[in-house]
Amino acid sequence: MCFLALLVSGVEILISHPRFYWGETGNVLTPPLFKLPIPSSRATVPTGYGYVLPDQNGWSRYLHFQAAWLAVLTGLLYFVFGLLSGHFRQNLFPARADLSWRALSTVIGKHLRFRSATAAEPGSYNVLQQLTYLLVIFVLFPLVIWTGLAMSPAIAAVFPAAVTILGGQQSARTIHFFVSVFLLLFLLVHVVMVSIAGFRNRMRAMITGRPAKDMELR
């Protein structure tokens, strides 16, 4: 829900200026790093399209920040709980044996041949899942929060280094865009894999925290 809200409002904000820059500054008078071939909601942006989309930035910005707060607060709860309960250690950090090239290539090969998870690997994550989840939890989420905050003029005043390390406020915006794209890709692949593995059972398990069998016993 939060992700969807962030995605929709993020796209709405983006189309008011679908150009990206590197460094501290960037505007329609400076050359962009790249631009998206979409129309804009502002007449000042040259897009090549003969029309201007309606301005949706007001509620989009309100919604983006509200959803961000909700996502960050739940994320924090999950993070603290994951550390305390040993969930990260037990389930997400791959076993050393799984990290050898041979083990990795076996798993990758299995995925490429679209062999779905069956009785052989019922309740645990495989090494690819583990690595992906680690990347999302410890790299992409922190990075998307950091780059989001780095765009704030008030936060930049308190933690200037958080902006300069990234290369500037426009760099932060560009990284924010790419990380969001990666998160969207993760979500799409995640949902596809879950549907392959049996949508009803997995969704039930995710929400209730119990495997499907257990539910049927009750």
Partner 1 sequence: MSKFSRRKLITSGIAVTAGASGLAVAARLAQRYGLIPPDAGGFYGPGETLTYAAQRLLTRHSMAREFAPSQISKPPFANEVDPLGEAFKRLQKAGFTDWRLHVDGMVARPASFSLAELRNFPVRSQITHLACEEGWSYIAEWIGAPLSHILDLVGTLPQARYVIYRSIQPDWWESIDMADALHPQTLVAHGMNGGELPVGFGGPLRLRVPRQLGYKNVKYITRLTVTDNLKPFGKGMGSASPEAGYAWYAGI
Binding site for partner 1 (CB under 8 A): 13-14, 16-17, 19, 24-30, 42-44, 57-59, 61-63, 65-70, 149, 151-158, 160, 163, 169-170, 173
Q: Which is nearer to partner 1, 156 or 205 (CB)?
A: 156
Q: Which residues contact 124 (CB under 8 A, 6 or more apart)?
A: 91
> 6 exposed, middle or buried (CB, 10 Å; 0-12, 13-18, 19+)?
buried
Token pair for residue 4? 């969807």
Q: Which is nearer to partner 1, 25 or 118 (CB)?
A: 25
d(CA 156, CA 150): 6
CB of 125 to partner 1, least distance (A): 27
Q: Which is nearer to partner 1, 72 or 128 (CB)?
A: 72
CB of 172 to partner 1, least distance (A): 11
CB of 108 to partner 1, least distance (A): 38
Three-class DSSP category at 35: strand
CB of 3 to partner 1, least distance (A): 16
The DSSP H or E segment spanning 19 is strand 19-20
Q: Which residues contact 189 (CB under 8 A, 6 or more apart)?
A: none
d(CA 98, CA 3): 31
CB of 139 to partner 1, least distance (A): 23
Q: What angle do CA 161, 131, 8 make, to 5 degrees?
A: 65
Q: Which is nearer to partner 1, 117 or 148 (CB)?
A: 148
Q: Which is nearer to partner 1, 15 or 131 (CB)?
A: 15
